[in-house]
Amino acid sequence: MTKPIIVANWKMNTLADQARRLVRRIVELSAEQHLDSVGTVVLCPPFVNISIVRSELTDTAIELGGQNCWTEPYGAYTGEVSAEMLRAVGCSYVIVGHSERRTIFGEDDEIVLRKMLRAWEASLIPIVCVGETLHQRQMHQTWDVLRRQLGNIAQHQDRSRAWVCAYEPVWAIGTGIAAEPEQIEQAHLYLRSFLDGHGCSHVPLIYGGSVNANNAAEIFAVPNVDGALVGTASLVAESFVAIIRASHDAHRTTT
C-alpha cells in the first residue's frame, strides 16, 4: 500500500456539540496511538460544522474537506456552497459525485466534472466517487459504468492536478455489507489500469462501502487499494481511528 488516505464522510450527521466531541476524540486517540506520521486523514463534516472542527484540528496533521460544492465560485445559487468558500474556511479536499448526490439530487457525470474543475480552480483536491448499482452489477455493466463515469474526467487530466478516485459500489454504501475482497480487487485493478492509461498514475485509488474496524485490515491488504472513504464508521471515533491504524499497519507491511 502507498501512503494511505483515509477520508471520513460524516454526511448529514452531528449537531455542533457532537461534531466538537467527535473531532476531539479522534485527535486524542490518534495522538495516543502516534497515528499522524503516515499518510493523510481527511474529515468531511457538514458545512455548518466545518469551522468548529477546524478549530479543534489546529496543530494536528488531520485535513478538512467539504462533502460537496457547487460548480460556480459565487452568485445566485441559493442553498449552495462554493469550492472557494470551502477553501476559505480551511478545507483542502472536497468530495464530488458521491452516489447520494447522484441518486437523490440527480447529479450527472457532466456536473461532477464541472465540480471537479471548480475544485481545482479553488486549489482544492477533489475526491471523485464512482461506482455501480446492484442492478448494474447484476447486468454485468460494472466496467461500462466505471468507464462512463471517469470518461470525461480522464479527458481533462493533467499531471499537475491532484485528485483522489474513490471506488464506491452503491450497493455497499451504508448497508453494513462491504464488497468482497475479490470484488474490490477486480474493480481496483480495472480502475488502476484505466487511470494509468489516461495519465493518472499519480491518482490514489481508495475504496468506500461499509468499511469498519473489523474489515479494514482485509480491505487494505487488497492490491491497488490506497485507503478508504468511510461513512458510518467515521461517526465513532474508536472505529475511525482503528481504521486509520489498520491503514498504517498495511502500509508498514508493504514498505
Q: At its nearest, how many Å lie between ligand PEP and the CB of residue 166?
A: 7
Distance set, CA 97 to CA 57, 107, 191, 209, 246 (Å): 26, 7, 16, 15, 26
Scan for cell 462491504, then name that residue: 178
Q: Is there binding between residue 107 and ligand PEP (CB under 6 A)?
A: no
Which residue is nearest to ligand PEP, using beta carbons? 231
248 residue type, one letter? H
Annotated active-site residue 80? The verdict is no
Q: At its nearest, how many Å lie between ligand PEP and the CB of residue 184?
A: 13
Measured distance CA(64)–CA(87) in Å, rounded: 9
Q: Which of 39, 97, 126, 208 binds ligand PEP (CB under 6 A)?
A: 208
Residues between 120 and 139 that touch ligand PEP (CB under 6 A): none
Q: Which of 179, 184, 229, 243 binds ligand PEP (CB under 6 A)?
A: 229
Q: Is there binding between residue 173 and ligand PEP (CB under 6 A)?
A: yes
Residues between 47 and 86 that touch ligand PEP (CB under 6 A): none
Q: Which of 93, 227, 231, 250 binds ligand PEP (CB under 6 A)?
A: 231
Q: Which of 69, 83, 211, 219 binds ligand PEP (CB under 6 A)?
A: 211
Q: Is there binding between residue 9 and ligand PEP (CB under 6 A)?
A: yes
Nearer to ligand PEP, 129 or 153 (CB): 129
Catalytic residue from among 84, 98, 100, 248: 98
Annotated active-site residue 98? The verdict is yes
Catalytic residue from among 56, 63, 168, 188: 168
Residue 126 · residue 164 · CB < 8 Å = yes
220 residue type, one letter? F
Count the site residues for ligand PEP by CB under 6 A.
13
> Exposed, middle or buried: residue 74 (CB in 10 Å: 0-12, 13-18, 19+)?
exposed
Helix axes 181-197, 142-154, angle to 10 degrees: 30
Q: At its nearest, how many Å lie between ligand PEP and the CB of residue 59?
A: 28
Count of all residues that appear for the chain in the document: 255
Residues that bind ligand PEP (CB under 6 A): 9, 168, 173-174, 208-211, 229-233
Enzyme catalytic residues: 98, 168
